[in-house]
Amino acid sequence: MFGYQKQDSSQTLSEAIAEYFAANKQHFNTRVLTPEADEFFRCHDASHVVFGCDISLNDELVVKVSSIFGTTAGWNVMKGYRLAESKNIYEDIQLVDIVHTAASASYLVPITIWRCSRLHKRWYWDNFDEFLAMPLGQVREKFGIEVAH
């Protein structure tokens, strides 16, 4: 478990995002993104951190559901998953992981929607710069976010 995944993390949001990227650098070093995809992934990756998720397929599911029901993007977030850069990621997913996540979805989706229904307000999908210097635990407290793990 990384520091950013702890509910009351004292890291700033900026430090937590840096930790997330450092922990997953093998996946991010090869990214070549269009400006539209770069903006989508900037917001998507911040959501990983805010909701306390890693890059496992189960956590990707949690981030997607949280982004729809727990951020200001709502259903519009789905546009980013249609980008070519997003589709390229899907090509690397193993069948066994898809089956495992499909089975896990029966409890992950309802739990995530329930957690999102308890938020004080939705996380700012694309306008979160004012929170970068705030401790992550305080960000979560302000929005009522409960980490996934």
Tokens of 24: 């997953």
* Rounded Cα distance, 28 and 61, in Å: 19
Mean pLDDT of 76-80: 96
Q: What is the dihedral sign for C-alpha 8, 11, 17, 18?
A: negative
pLDDT value for 32: 81
Distances (CA, A) of 36 to 1, 49, 58, 102, 127: 31, 20, 25, 29, 15
- Which residues on adjacent β-strands are paired with residue 71? 123
Mean pLDDT of 53-62: 95
pLDDT value for 92: 79
